[in-house]
Structure 1
């Protein structure tokens, strides 16, 4: 290999190095700035292929997608000075890459720290002006929407990022107060339970007394109706018997004697001392009931 060829190869390598240092590519999901010796030359570079001065300009790329800020739980007080442990998260993205680079020097950890401070301060302001009932009720969505709007105006100016959404994952009582709160809640529930039981017993007594009254009324009406039916039956039976006996007095006398025999000799130990010729044995002595007298 002669000197001329070697020189040509070296020149080609230098040109390739310069060309590669002069080109850059920005993806659709990225935001970028062009720096010249550390100062911003161009901000918000468009996606695609671009050119820069090699060894003078430098391109810094940042994630332009929606990112998540997951903050640790913070102790926050409500307007009644009640402490709560609030666990929240936020969704954010870069909107002004120039302001973002100046505020954070291009470090995402710095951006996360600044955003976390702003979100924590905003939550304290929002919770500090509301009661516990308002915080845990359906007004929480409105609270988060107000917080997102107010924080976005600040973070766009200071950090160059937009807060897409701020949400509370969980609200708990601190460990040092949860025990007393749970004990108070338990005592309140026990008091309510005693009240409900007392009201239930009172209603049960009312229902039982009414049922006993209805039972007595139904039994009295049933007894009265049964007595009326029995009286009507007895009257009808007496009328039938009277009609039957009036038609054949001798048959009536015979039936009455049979009933007397039946009732007199129920047990083996029964004993009667009666004159055999008395009227009591008239049908035993004569089937036609003729008396010897």
Structure 2
């Protein structure tokens, strides 16, 4: 009975010490075994591990890719048009020992503060470099700019034991006080471009109209010339017919010409013509008598 009295507490202590010496490393994390603040072991593989109870402690760090949103900052490209930029980065703890030595007990909070400062410095440096304009930042070329920021931030973050996987610009806007001036300048540029297009259109229209007018004039001239030729040929043919008719029957030809003279002389109602009844003009209008 006395042995049992001491055995049960001893067993409890042994079980407690045994459980205190065991810890599990998840596949999504890395762990450091510390003894009085000094790194004694690194656990990067998932599974069951051991430590000395009460003397050693385990510090765990996330091994997944993490995200960090930077603060909004203003940058000034080479064309002096200020832009408001904020970005986000994806990173992971690459060297857990170096990470612990760099940030100490502050952990991710301190690491993200330092990484945010690194990213802001690299954003200002890259976007404010020579030959980088606001148009470049707002165009497809921003992809290359983001890669440059990522590469330079990667170099600076190595001292923290971090691996900067990616950097993206979330928004790139003009400061509020510059928006009205920028919109006015854009409007003026578009109006100037529209005026240039209208002027070029009017010039092209005038060329088309001048070409059309010349074509009409040339077409009418050719048609008139051809009509004159046809008319002359017709008159020549008519005169030839008249000449033939006159040679074939002079009396009929005289009769025909008299009829034409009657038609032209007797038209209208405002003209008067006075002549004697025995005028030759009425030869074909007199009624024939048997005596004649």
- Please give the TM-score of this superposition, normalised by the length of structure 2: 0.79
Structure 2 alignment gaps of length 5 or more: none
Aligned in 2, Cα 1:245/1:112: closer, same or farther, shift over 3 Å? farther
Structure 1 alignment gaps of length 5 or more: none
Partner of 2:170: 169
Asked if 1:215 corresponds to 2:213, the answer is no
Asked if 1:182 corresponds to 2:175, the answer is no
How far apart in 2 are the matches of 1:68 and 1:183?
A: 38
Partner of 1:128: 128
For the Cα contact (< 8 Å) 1:44–1:98, is it kept in 2?
Answer: no
How far apart in 2 are the matches of 1:194 and 1:122?
A: 42
TM-aligned CA deviation for residue 126 of structure 1: 1.9
Equivalent in 129, 152, 155 of residue 153 of structure 1: 155
For the Cα contact (< 8 Å) 2:92–2:165, is it kept in 1?
Answer: yes
Q: How does 1:20-39 map to 2 (within 5 A)?
A: 20-39=19-38
TM-aligned CA deviation for residue 75 of structure 1: 0.7
SS of residue paired to 2:114: helix
TM-aligned CA deviation for residue 202 of structure 1: 3.9
How far apart in 2 are the matches of 1:65 and 1:190?
A: 53
How far apart in 2 are the matches of 1:255 and 1:15?
A: 154
How far apart in 1 are the matches of 2:243 and 2:4?
A: 158
Partner of 1:98: 97
For the Cα contact (< 8 Å) 1:76–1:83, is it kept in 2?
Answer: yes
TM-aligned CA deviation for residue 66 of structure 1: 1.6
How far apart in 1 are the matches of 2:212 and 2:5?
A: 118
How far apart in 2 are the matches of 1:137 and 1:10?
A: 73
How far apart in 2 are the matches of 1:63 and 1:199?
A: 64
| Range moving further from structure 2, 203-212 or 4-13 | 4-13
Partner of 2:58: 59
- Please give the TM-score of this superposition, normalised by the length of structure 1: 0.79
Partner of 1:229: 230
How far apart in 2 are the matches of 1:3 and 1:247?
A: 175
